[in-house]
Amino acid sequence: MNPEKFQNIIGYYVEESQEHLNTIYNGSLNMQNTIDDRYELEAIFPTTFSLKGGPAMLGFTSLQKIVHNLEDCLQLLPYPIIANEPLQLLFLDIYHVLKQSVFPIKINEGVTT
């Protein structure tokens, strides 16, 4: 694939990732509402799937592994979920790690594979 086309694909991924990161961030800020509303909670699952697919396709395996681990953690949450401060902080920490992992892609620094 030529470098220009590859950069365009990366640009689309970064733009889409911003939307997915916003979903995770908003879900984290309103953790109790997110947990109480099954639709809101389930919105995070396809978000993580989409965040994982792009890096896999683009060869950013470190980012893919981070998101895969997030998916695993989400599946481990026991029901009923108690939205306490530590859980909210954990989700916010995950959001920040993901954001810091996507940002270098945006400014063409790339990420480690």
> 108, 13 in Cβ contact below 8 A?
no
Residue 107 pLDDT grade (very low, low, confident, very high; cuts 50, 70, 90): low
pTM as predicted: 0.71
pLDDT, tens only, 8-37: 888 888 888 888 888 888 888 877 777 777
User: What pLDDT, in 10s, does the model give residues 37-73?
Assistant: 777 777 777 787 778 888 888 888 888 888 888 778 7
Residue 61 has a CB neighbour count (10 Å cut-off) of: 14
Q: Of 99, 83, 89, nearest to 23 (Cα)?
A: 99
Alpha-carbon distance of 83 to 7, in angstroms, equals 40
Q: How many CB atoms lie within 10 A of CB 105?
A: 20
* Cβ count within 10 A of residue 70: 21
State the average pLDDT for the chain: 78
**Pairwise pLDDT comparison (97 vs 110), residue with the higher score:** 97
Q: What CATH architecture applies to the domain 3-106?
A: Up-down Bundle (1.20)
